[in-house]
Amino acid sequence: MDNCLAAAPQRPAWLTARGERTLRWLRRSLIVALLAYTATTVPGVRGEAGYNAVLDGWLQNAVLIAATLLMFLRVCLVRRDRLQWVLLGIGVGLYTAGDTIYFAWVQFQTPLPYPSIADVLWLAVYPFLYAGLVIACRHRIDMPRRTVWLDSVVAALGMSAVAAMAISVILHHTNGSTRQILTTISYPIGDLLLLVLVVGAYGLLEWRPDRMLSYLGIGIALFAAADTIFLLRLSTGTYVVGTPLDATWVWACVVIACAALRPPARKASMGFHGWTILIVPTMFALSSLGLLVYGSIRRLPLLTVGLATVALVCAILRAGATFREVQQLARTRDIQARTDALTGLGNRRLFHEALLRRIDALSAGDRFAVMFLDLDHFKEVNDSLGHSFGDRLLVDIGQRLTQHVRGTDVLVRLGGDEFAVLLDHSSRTSAEQIAHRLRADIQRSFVFDGITIHTDVSVGIAMCPDVATTADGLMQRADLAMYEAKVDRRGCVVYSAVDHDDLTSRMRLIQELRTALTDGQLVMHYQPKIDLQSGRLEGVEALVRWDHPDLGLLFPDSFIPEAERYGLMRALTTSVLTLALDQAREWQTAGTPTTMAINISASNLLDVELPEQIDTMLRIRGLEANLLTVEVTESTLMIDPLRATTVLNALRKTGVRVSVDDYGTGYSSLARLRDLPVDELKLDRSFIAHIDDDKRFAAIVTSTVELAHALGLTLVAEGIETVEALQRVSDFGCDIGQGYHISRPMPAEELTEWLRRSAVPDSQPAA
């Protein structure tokens, strides 16, 4: 209550600024008056005991009036929960009115009337407090489970049994007229009913903390304590006005008023968990059992025995309900453990168990198929439209797939964008037919919020017992076939044991390449390029090698195609750029700056983020953009010319140069070449190899040189392996030369010495 009475450092969000100032002033006035009156009831402070008009009349009633005003001020300032505070405020107001009338008039009557007008007002408090409590509970309590209701009933009945026992003991020692006894006993009974309601409400809240209910409960408990003590003292003739007992009633009203300062009701979300929610009902059930045991020794009132008995019966029912809930929870968790939460289909665990059962039931001549499905380009849907669209797409795909499976088949979502089907009693032909129907259905467009989404799916099939007879083996082979279908864009692939070794080795290579990208197993070799007219170094081409821990140094053709097929080219290109640009910076720092050419693949060329990535990497290292040349093959440009042109234009805007590698082997037209944003052509080595013995190749080289120069492009001749070839390409007007005769690719340490010379070697082929 101290927190409620003390001035708050910040205004609550549910109060206006003016309302907060008013409440602060009233709070301070109330606490000062309450403490002042409480101090006067301490023995020895007041002096002579008995009624004091100033203290027990004006001061006490001033505190009660302030508490009433506080509650009605809350009604005026806050719209939410207004009815409950009107009812609770009327209850406190009736108590204040009864107290005022008692001290102003009733106490001076001889003999004291039972019931008096004050008693009528005090007893009228209970219906209003009860109604306010009920409404407050309704605002806070969702429709609880049956066990929660039983917890509340057990607690309420157990408390009632204990209270009935205490009241019967008090009544046994109470003397007086019937009216007096009935009037004075009405107060503890009314308090008990209110306490039972509060305890029951806490039970329905599963014993979650609630400050408003706590304040109301404390206030009612203070009323119950004060009324019970008053009953005992009245029966023994020891009650005197002006003692701490009178302050207890005042404190009870103030605490109830303080509940009005709590924020408006909201559903509580934090409470006890697990077995801790049983602590309170168990405590009251044990107390009821103790009363019945005590009743077997000494006679107890019939009401006490009845309440304790009903409480124990409810506790037994609660135990039975708990047992059924545990059973249902176990079944629900078992179902959830085998169900995909998004699509409602089965999950990987259910699929694995179904496979095990089907394999156990396999008989001679019996066959079934395991089908793995993986959506194509699903990541693009998530990235462009958001995960909510991706989730809706998965749900709709699951529904479409369901239409194609039979009652004995099993359809699950393995996770992500992967699904699996167990096709019962299926041949290879029927499995392929179903796969094609599934793909055709999924290829139909999906429409969400006016947005049309197109997707495709890759399917891998493994037949049992043809390729495996274990669940893990079938799933592994179906997965391998699915990857084969995806990377080869074949749509559907049936696993064949003949391809097992090749597929396994390819998958192993990919996994090892993933490790190589993070463990620093990639190394760079550099091949010089020279100016054919001056003989000076023009730059180097960076060529990646894989220093495999078991297979030794691997050349790009042994792992680049697999990296492209399995989606590792972006990571691989990032690693190559990092190594090459770090070396370029090292050479620049050493005083031997040189241009660097790097090859990019088809997937790199379609990556719209590549230009920004390269620009950032250059700026971080302090390198000029024109020191870097990206080489892209002619055939790669033809995969998606529009998107490739967009990426190349973005690269050139950063200052990076663009070269067409292997020129002459593709099918690009001269008009297309004119529109491409390139800086140089790199004539394929096949033309240079036959330049000495075939006039047609010589003519092609000559015409290509003229074409390149006419378009303002630099022409690079690669594959120069003899002194004669070097001389011929120089005579034909090629600008730059590259090949084994000039230098083989070499590590940076060996090339550093070569760079210092920066001259064409002797006419003998390089070793």
Q: How does pLDDT run across 513-551, given as a tens digit for each residue?
A: 888 888 889 999 999 999 998 888 889 999 999 999 988
pLDDT at residue 283, rounded to an integer? 67
Confidence of residue 9 (pLDDT cuts 50, 70, 90): very low
The position carrying tokens 């029966």 is 235
Confidence of residue 279 (pLDDT cuts 50, 70, 90): low
C-alpha 585/C-alpha 724 separation (Å) is 35
C-alpha 660/C-alpha 677 separation (Å) is 10
Query: Tokens for 156?
Result: 């309420």
Reduced to 3 DSSP states, what percent helix, strand and coil does the chain have, rounded to the nearest 5?
Answer: 60, 15, 25
pTM of the model: 0.47
pLDDT at residue 149, rounded to an integer? 54
Position 673: which residue type?
L
CB atoms within 10 A of CB 130: 15
What average pLDDT score do residues 226-247 get? 81
Output b/e per residue, 36-75; b: 16+ Cβ within 10 A: ebbebbeeeebeeeeebeebbbebbbbbbbbbbbbbbbbb
CATH number belonging to domain 348-495: 3.30.70.270
Lowest mean pLDDT among 12-16, 259-263, 329-333, 504-508: 12-16
pLDDT at residue 400, rounded to an integer? 92
Percent of the chain with pLDDT strictly greater than 90: 21
Report the DSSP pairing between strands 537-548 and 446-448: unpaired
Give domain limits for the chain: 2-149+174-267, 348-495, 527-757
Residue with the larger pLDDT of the pair 25 and 585: 585
pLDDT at residue 746, rounded to an integer? 92
What average pLDDT score do residues 398-421 get? 91
pLDDT at residue 604, rounded to an integer? 85
The contacts of residue 370 (CB under 8 Å, 6+ apart) are 355, 420, 421, 422, 423, 461, 462, 463, 464, 474, 475, 477, 478
Considering only CA atoms, give the Rg of the chain: 45
CA dist 268 → 8, 209, 214 (Å)? 23, 8, 13
Answer whether residue 158 shows pLDDT above 80: no
CA–chain centroid gap for 376, Å, is: 25
CA dist 201 → 107, 291, 707, 758 (Å)? 37, 24, 91, 90
Query: Tokens for 515?
Result: 């490790």
Count Cα neighbours of 592 within 13 Å in the Cβ-side half-sphere: 18
pLDDT at residue 543, rounded to an integer? 94
Confidence of residue 6 (pLDDT cuts 50, 70, 90): very low
Answer whether residue 701 shows pLDDT above 70: yes
Confidence of residue 114 (pLDDT cuts 50, 70, 90): confident
Position 272: which residue type?
F
pLDDT at residue 280, rounded to an integer? 54
pLDDT at residue 182, rounded to an integer? 64
pLDDT at residue 655, rounded to an integer? 93
Strands of the sheet containing 456-464, edge to edge, are: 410-415, 418-423, 368-376, 456-464, 492-494
Answer whether residue 5 shows pLDDT above 50: no
pLDDT at residue 109, rounded to an integer? 78
Helix (H) or strand (E) holding 374: strand 368-376
Answer whether residue 657 shows pLDDT above 90: yes
What is the residue-wise DSSP string for 408-425? T-EEEEEETTEEEEEETT
pLDDT at residue 618, rounded to an integer? 93
What average pLDDT score do residues 176-189 get? 68
pLDDT digits (tens, 9 = 90+) for 200-216: 666 556 666 677 888 88
The position carrying tokens 């304790």 is 308
Q: What φ, ψ does residue 641 adopt, rounded to 5°?
A: -55, -40
What average pLDDT score do residues 110-117 get? 79
Lowest mean pLDDT among 18-22, 141-145, 251-255, 613-617: 141-145
What average pLDDT score do residues 140-153 get? 56
pLDDT at residue 3, rounded to an integer? 41
Query: 316: closest CA among 331, 197, 308?
Result: 308
What average pLDDT score do residues 424-436 get? 91
C-alpha 226/C-alpha 27 separation (Å) is 24
pLDDT at residue 760, rounded to an integer? 44
What average pLDDT score do residues 53-60 get? 82
CATH number belonging to domain 527-757: 3.20.20.450
Residue with the larger pLDDT of the pair 161 and 52: 52
pLDDT digits (tens, 9 = 90+) for 282-298: 666 676 677 677 666 77
C-alpha 373/C-alpha 417 separation (Å) is 8
Report the DSSP pairing between strands 537-548 and 595-599: parallel
pLDDT at residue 765, rounded to an integer? 33
Answer whether residue 29 shows pLDDT above 50: yes
Lowest mean pLDDT among 50-59, 159-168, 209-218, 369-378: 159-168
pLDDT at residue 138, rounded to an integer? 66
Are 503 and 566 spatial neighbours (Cβ–Cβ below 8 Å)?
no
C-alpha 154/C-alpha 713 separation (Å) is 92
pLDDT at residue 217, rounded to an integer? 85
Answer whether residue 624 shows pLDDT above 80: yes
C-alpha 616/C-alpha 724 separation (Å) is 43
Answer whether residue 134 shows pLDDT above 90: no
Query: Tokens for 580?
Result: 């090459």
Cis bond before residue 111 (omega within 30° of 0): yes
pLDDT at residue 452, rounded to an integer? 85
* 58 DSSP 8-state letter: I
Percent of the chain with pLDDT strictly greater than 70: 77
- Average pLDDT of the residues of the chain: 79
Residue with the larger pLDDT of the pair 189 and 760: 189
pLDDT digits (tens, 9 = 90+) for 467-486: 888 999 899 889 888 888 88
pLDDT digits (tens, 9 = 90+) for 452-470: 888 889 999 999 998 888 9
Answer whether residue 576 shows pLDDT above 70: yes
Query: Tokens for 589?
Result: 């720092």
